């Protein structure tokens, strides 16, 4: 990689790894402007947030640390593993055209356009999904549909103007 002391900008290419106290970002290349605190990563971007178990994957990611805003594009996906104690591990998979984060530590994630949700026994679609990670809830808007299977095998479908799920 290279760093320009005059511009206070860094550029890294091939097997980039950026780690901080919150998590780890890996990508094919990354650019960081130290003055603006702005990061751009491209190519197989993977971010693991170790505080809440969220992993995001995309082709492109931008993060404005000052505004506490991040944006994933290029086939963005979100994975969140859950389970603990005696609970079986489950993974929530979410995809859409764009994923945006608002606030520190991925506190609120907004997934837009062609949202798809999947977890064992649960599938859904919507035009917009809002994840409140601190509250473990998901709000679905713009023609939301959920299909889920109960423990006895009964299948159900939910639709409405909006749907709120608590995980």
Q: Distance between CA atoms of 145 and 119, rounded to whole angstroms?
A: 14
pLDDT in tens, the chain (167 residues): 888 888 999 999 999 999 988 889 999 999 999 999 999 999 999 999 877 788 999 999 999 999 999 999 999 999 887 755 554 567 889 999 999 998 765 578 899 999 999 988 889 999 999 988 766 788 999 999 999 888 787 889 999 999 988 87
* Structural contact between residues 43 and 16, judged by C-beta atoms closer than 8 angstroms: no
pTM above 0.85, yes or no: yes
Strand locations in 84-136, DSSP E?
A: 90-95, 98-102, 108-119, 122-132
* Structural contact between residues 79 and 54, judged by C-beta atoms closer than 8 angstroms: yes
Cα torsion through 117, 118, 121, 126, rounded to 10: 20
């Amino acid at each position: 990689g290279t760093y320009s002391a005059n511009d206070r900008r860094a550029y890294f290419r091939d097997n980039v790894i950026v780690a901080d106290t919150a998590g780890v970002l890996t990508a094919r290349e990354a650019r960081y402007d130290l003055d603006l605190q702005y990061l751009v990563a491209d190519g197989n971007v993977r971010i693991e947030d170790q505080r809440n178990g969220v992993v995001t994957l995309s082709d492109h990611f931008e993060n404005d640390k000052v505004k506490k805003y991040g944006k994933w594009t290029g086939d963005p996906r979100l994975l969140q593993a859950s389970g603990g104690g005696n609970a079986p591990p489950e993974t929530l998979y979410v995809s859409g055209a764009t994923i945006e984060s608002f606030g520190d530590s991925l506190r609120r994630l907004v997934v837009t356009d062609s949202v798809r949700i999947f977890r064992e026994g649960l599938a859904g679609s919507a035009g917009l999904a809002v994840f409140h990670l601190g509250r473990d809830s998901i709000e679905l808007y713009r023609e939301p549909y959920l299909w889920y299977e109960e423990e006895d095998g009964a299948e159900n479908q939910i639709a409405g103007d909006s749907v709120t799920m608590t995980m």
